[in-house]
């Protein structure tokens, strides 16, 4: 008979991959609700902690939800159910479901990180961290974004179609690009516009990320192709990444990827 796994042991494993001290100062990664000593009966991985995800966890017999985005960013002053965040927390606590977030700490590692998964989807090779954290050891690469090379240069049209096909997105908001081939590519899951100077310094031909604002697109200035694929679209494959990591480590409970599409942005 297999030894039960506790929430604390699950958390400890996830933190070997993405230590909590790597998260950004504004973040709230880690165990948000639940008893660390509780035995894990099943895990549901997701991008967002929303009520339909909690309902799915209940239906599948999972008492832990591991998600990329934490549902609690700021301190909750009341739990009345008036706001969607309050309703999620209330439902999780009532159902005895632990909520664990693995956010910017997972963004900050190369191996099994969010941006590495994007790079793999795009078929990039020779991967390095785009923005290494100062003072970190090259043997344990830490930082945000990933830089890599396509096996062959692609035209603008071919590159955009490749991005759509591999990242399962229907729309790419992008800047002007001429007839130069695109081969060196920088990527960052989620809101990555702040990394544009690093992508430029690395002489990347393209930067694939999300959440670009109108005036920020001007910063490309013909020097780089900015390709905004959408926040959810850039991070959606993190769900399967987390499920694979947990399933490969623990065999004494079931791990599932959510079937709920939590993307709040619709395209018509």
Q: Which pLDDT score is estimated for 138?
A: 62
Query: Model confidence over 191-219: pLDDT tens digits?
Result: 999 999 999 999 999 999 999 999 999 99
Asked if residue 260 has pLDDT above 90, the reply is yes
Asked if residue 2 has pLDDT above 90, the reply is no
Indicate the average pLDDT of the chain: 96
Q: Which pLDDT score is estimated for 134?
A: 84
Q: Which pLDDT score is estimated for 75?
A: 83
Q: Which pLDDT score is estimated for 137?
A: 66
15: three-class secondary structure by DSSP: helix
Structural domains of the chain, ranges and CATH numbers in brackets: 7-106 (3.40.1390.30), 109-234 (3.40.1390.30)
Query: Model confidence over 49-78: pLDDT tens digits?
Result: 999 999 999 999 999 999 999 999 888 899
pLDDT-wise least confident of 35-39, 78-82, 110-114, 131-135: 131-135
Is the CB of residue 208 less than 8 Å from the CB of residue 187? yes
pTM above 0.85, yes or no: yes
User: If we measure between CA atoms, which residue out of 99, 133, 97 comes closest to residue 113?
Assistant: 133
Rounded Cα distance between 212 and 123, Å, is 23
Where residue 25 falls among pLDDT bands split at 50, 70, 90?
very high
Q: Which pLDDT score is estimated for 74?
A: 83
Q: Which pLDDT score is estimated for 184?
A: 98
User: In the structure encoding, which two tokens stand for residue 179, read together?
Assistant: 């007839």
Cβ-based neighbours of 5, under 8 Å, separated by 6 or more: 39, 40, 250, 252, 253
Rounded Cα distance between 67 and 34, Å, is 14
- Find how far residue 157's CA is from the centre of its chain: 26
Mean pLDDT along residues 80-90 = 96
């Amino acid at each position: 008979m297999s030894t039960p796994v506790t929430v604390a042991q699950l958390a400890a494993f996830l933190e070997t991959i993405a230590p909590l001290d790597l998260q950004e100062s504004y973040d709230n990664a880690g165990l948000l609700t639940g008893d660390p000593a509780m035995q894990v009966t099943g895990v549901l991985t997701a991008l967002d902690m929303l009520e339909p995800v909690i309902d799915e966890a209940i239906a599948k017999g999972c008492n832990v939800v591991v998600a990329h985005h934490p549902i609690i960013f700021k301190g909750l002053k009341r739990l009345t159910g008036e706001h969607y965040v309050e309703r999620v927390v209330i439902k999780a606590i009532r159902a005895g479901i632990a909520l664990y977030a693995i956010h910017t700490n997972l963004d900050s590692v190369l191996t099994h990180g969010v941006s590495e998964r994007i790079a793999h989807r795009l078929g990039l090779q020779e991967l390095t961290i785009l923005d290494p954290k100062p003072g970190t050891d090259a043997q344990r690469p830490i930082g945000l974004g990933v830089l890599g090379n396509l096996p062959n240069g692609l035209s603008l049209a071919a590159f955009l179609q490749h991005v759509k096909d591999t990242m399962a997105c229907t729309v790419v908001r992008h800047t002007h690009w001429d007839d130069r081939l695109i081969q060196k590519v920088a990527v960052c899951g989620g809101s990555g516009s702040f990394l544009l100077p690093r992508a430029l310094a690395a002489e990347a031909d393209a930067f694939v990320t999300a959440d670009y604002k109108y005036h920020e697109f001007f910063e490309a200035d013909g020097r780089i192709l900015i390709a905004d694929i959408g926040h959810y679209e850039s991070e959606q494959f993190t769900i399967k990444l987390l499920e694979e990591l947990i399933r490969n480590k623990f065999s004494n409970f079931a791990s599932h990827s959510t079937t709920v599409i939590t993307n709040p942005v619709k395209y018509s």
